[in-house]
C-alpha cells in the first residue's frame, strides 16, 4: 500500500484530487487551514493503492505519494 502525504496548509480546496480518486479515499476536512479553506485529507480507515491520480490532478503540488 502507498503512503499519501498532503500539505494541508498549501491546499486551496479545489477538490480536483477528491473528484479523481477512483477509490474515494479522500474527503474534505472539517477544519479550515491557514488559507481559510477546508483542505483535503485521507478518509480514516482507507488504504491507498498508489494510483497517483490525486498527485497528478493537484494543481499546487500539495500531494506526495510514496510506496
pTM (two decimals): 0.88
Q: What is the pLDDT of residues 4-54, one digit of tens each?
A: 999 999 999 999 999 999 999 999 999 999 999 999 999 999 999 999 999
pLDDT at 1 over 90: no
Give the model's pLDDT for residue 29: 96
Give the model's pLDDT for residue 4: 94
What's the rounded Cα separation, in Å, for the pair 54 and 33? Answer: 19
Q: What are phi and psi of 29, to 5 degrees?
A: -70, 155
Q: What are phi and psi of 26, to 5 degrees?
A: -110, 145
Query: 37 lies in which domain range?
Result: 3-66
Query: What's the domain count of the chain?
Result: 1
Residue bearing the bigger pLDDT, 67 or 58: 58
Q: What is the CATH number of the domain that holds 48?
A: 3.30.70.20
Amino acid at each position: 500500500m502507498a503512503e499519501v502525504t498532503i500539505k494541508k496548509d498549501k491546499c486551496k480546496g479545489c477538490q480536483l484530487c477528491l473528484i479523481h480518486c477512483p477509490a474515494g479515499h479522500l474527503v474534505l476536512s472539517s477544519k479550515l487551514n491557514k488559507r481559510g479553506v477546508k483542505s483535503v485529507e485521507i478518509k480514516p480507515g482507507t488504504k491507498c493503492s498508489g494510483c497517483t491520480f490525486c498527485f497528478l490532478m493537484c494543481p499546487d503540488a500539495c500531494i506526495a505519494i510514496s510506496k
